[in-house]
Amino acid sequence: MIKSNLPLAIIGLGKTGKSIAKYLNKINCDFIVYDTRKDLEITKEIKKEINENKIILGEFKEEYIENHDNFIVSPGIKLEKNIIEKIKISKKNIQTDIDIFNGKKRKNVICITGTNGKTTVTLLIEHILKNLGKKVKAGANVGLPVLELLSEDYEYNILELSSFQLEMTKTINSKISLITNITPDHLDRHENFENYVILKNKIFNNAEISIFNRLDNNINSKATEERYTFGADVGQSLNDFGIIKENNINYISQGKKKIISENDVQLIGKHNFINICAALAVIKALKLDVELAAQTIKKFGCVEHRMENFLKNDNISWINDSKSTNIDSTISAIKSLDKNIVLLMGGRSKTNDYSELEKVLKNKVDKIIFFGESKNFLKNALKSVKDISIANNMEHAVCEAINFINIKKENCEENMYIILSPACSSYDMYKSFEERGKSFKNHAINQYK
Ligand code: UMA
Q: Which of 141, 182, 190, 436 to mutate to test the pocket of ligand 1 (most atoms within 8 A of CB)?
A: 141
Across the range 350-379, mean pLDDT stands at 92
Pick the atom of ligand 1 nearest to 139's CA: 39
Per residue in 43-73, pLDDT (tens digit) is 999 999 999 999 999 988 989 999 999 999 9
Q: Which atom of ligand 1 is nearest to the CA of 97?
A: 39
Q: Quote the CA–CA distance of 290 and 272 in Å, as a whole number.
A: 17
Percentage of the chain lying above the pLDDT 90 cut = 74
Q: Which of 5-9, 25-29, 235-239, 310-314 has the lowest mean pLDDT?
A: 310-314
Residue 91: predicted pLDDT:
85
Question: Ligand 1 atom 19: the closest Cα is on which residue?
Answer: 76
Q: Does domain 308-446 have CATH number 3.90.190.20?
A: yes
pLDDT band at 322 (very low <50, low <70, confident <90, very high): very high
pLDDT at position 110 is: 98
Mutation test residue for ligand 1: of 10, 11, 16, the one with most atoms within 8 Å of CB: 16
Atom of ligand 1 nearest to the CA of 186: 48
Per-residue model confidence as pLDDT tens digits over 111-143: 999 999 999 999 999 999 999 999 999 999 998
Q: How far is the CA of 72 from the centre of ligand 1 (A)?
A: 13
- 13-27, 302-316, 346-360, 400-414: the lowest-pLDDT one: 302-316
User: How high is the pLDDT of residue 330?
Assistant: 94
| pLDDT(78) > 80 | no
* Residue 190 vs residue 165, higher pLDDT: 165
Position in ligand 1 atom list of the atom nearest CA 79? 8
Give the distance (Å) from ligand 1 centre to CA of residue 59: 17
- pLDDT at 399 (0 to 100): 97
d(CA 123, CA 410): 39
- Listed by start position, the domains of the chain span 8-95, 100-297, 308-446
Average pLDDT in the chain: 93
- What's the pLDDT score for residue 299? 84
* Averaged pLDDT for residues 16-32: 96
Residue nearest to atom 42 of ligand 1 (CA): 141
Tell me, in angstroms, the distance from the centre of ligand 1 to residue 14's CA: 6
Q: What is the pTM of this model?
A: 0.80
Ligand 1: distance of its center to the CA of 17 in Å?
9
C-alpha to C-alpha distance for 398 and 394, rounded to whole angstroms: 6
Q: Which residues line ligand 1 (CB under 6 A)?
A: 12-17, 35-37, 40, 74-78, 140-141, 143, 145, 162, 164
Residue 443 CA, ligand 1 centroid: distance in Å? 28
Instruction: Output the pLDDT for position 351.
Output: 82
Q: What mean pLDDT do residues 159-169 have? A: 95
Mutate to test the pocket of ligand 1, among 15, 157, 323, 326 (most ligand atoms within 8 A of CB): 15
In this prediction, residue 32 carries a pLDDT of 97
pLDDT on residue 1:
87
Whether residue 84 has pLDDT greater than 90: no
Distance CA 219, CA 197 (A): 8
Tell me the C-alpha distance between 310 and 9, whole Å. 43
Residue 136: what residue type? V
Write the class of the CATH domain 100-297: alpha beta
pLDDT beyond 80 at 82: no
pLDDT at res. 363: 84
CATH domain 8-95 topology: Rossmann fold (3.40.50)
pLDDT class of 146 with cuts at 50, 70, 90? very high
Are the CB atoms for 8 and 72 separated by under 8 Å?
A: yes
Predicted confidence band at 223 (pLDDT cuts at 50, 70, 90)?
A: confident
